[in-house]
Structures are given as C-alpha cells and as structure tokens.
Amino acid sequence: MTLVFCFFLDYITRAFQATNPTHKEDIMDLSNYTTEQLNQLKKDIDKEIQGRRKEDAKKAQNELKQVAERYGFTLSDLVGGQPARTRTKAKVRFQHPSDASKTWSGRGRKPAWVKEWEAKGRSLDELRVD
C-alpha cells in the first residue's frame, strides 16, 4: 500500500467515525414528518452533503500535499501517474466490394457479410484492401 493511500484511508476512517452516530438517541425520529417534509429534508441533506464533500476533498488534497512535501514530493509525483493509454481504431483490412461502409479490421469475429462471402466460395483475399 502506498503512503498516500494509507493516509487517505486513515483520513476517511476518522471522518466517518466522527460523523457516524453510535447511540440511538442521536438518530432523528422521522415518523412524525409528512412525505413532503421528508422530501424537502432529503433535498436539504443532499445539498449539504454535496457541499461537505467538496470541502472534504479540498481538505484531503491540502493534507495530502503537506504529507507529500514533507517527503520531498509533489502531489502529482505520487498520484499523477501516467495518462491512460488510448486505443487507436484498428486499420481496415477488408471491405465489402459493393458497400464501402461495411469494413472489418480482421480482428475479432468475422462479420456476417464476410461469412456470407466465404459461404459463396469466395476468398477473403478478394476483400483485402491493404
């Protein structure tokens, strides 16, 4: 486990323990609320959670930066990593003779039009474009 991940896990655990009610009397009784009141309460709670998540993310980022700097790194050195490799579309190697929109790279399953072509006794080489 990386240092950053351990720190982040500890941070999340502490935040959860600090905000999680452990006693029954700490939990709100919702049985006396109307559906309309509960829906409004839910909207208010969702809005509050969204705001707190943004604040928590900023705090966590600042704390992670401080830890990284203490060890002589920048935050991007530790979590930036390499950008994900994007796949390029495979080159077209086969094309239907009368319908140019039907193509196949030669990878994966043969499309139905290729199977039909071969079922007629024709060669796959006749469809080759490269």
Q: What is the pLDDT of residues 18-53, one digit of tens each?
A: 666 565 566 778 888 899 998 998 999 999 999 999
C-beta of residue 117 within 8 angstroms of C-beta of residue 124: yes
Torsion of CA 77, 81, 82, 86, to 10 degrees: -150
For residue 103, give both structure tokens: 């193509």
Between CA 126 and CA 98 the distance in angstroms is 12
Q: What is the pLDDT of residues 62-93, one digit of tens each?
A: 998 898 899 898 888 877 766 667 778 889 99
C-beta of residue 8 within 8 angstroms of C-beta of residue 60: yes
Between CA 130 and CA 128 the distance in angstroms is 6
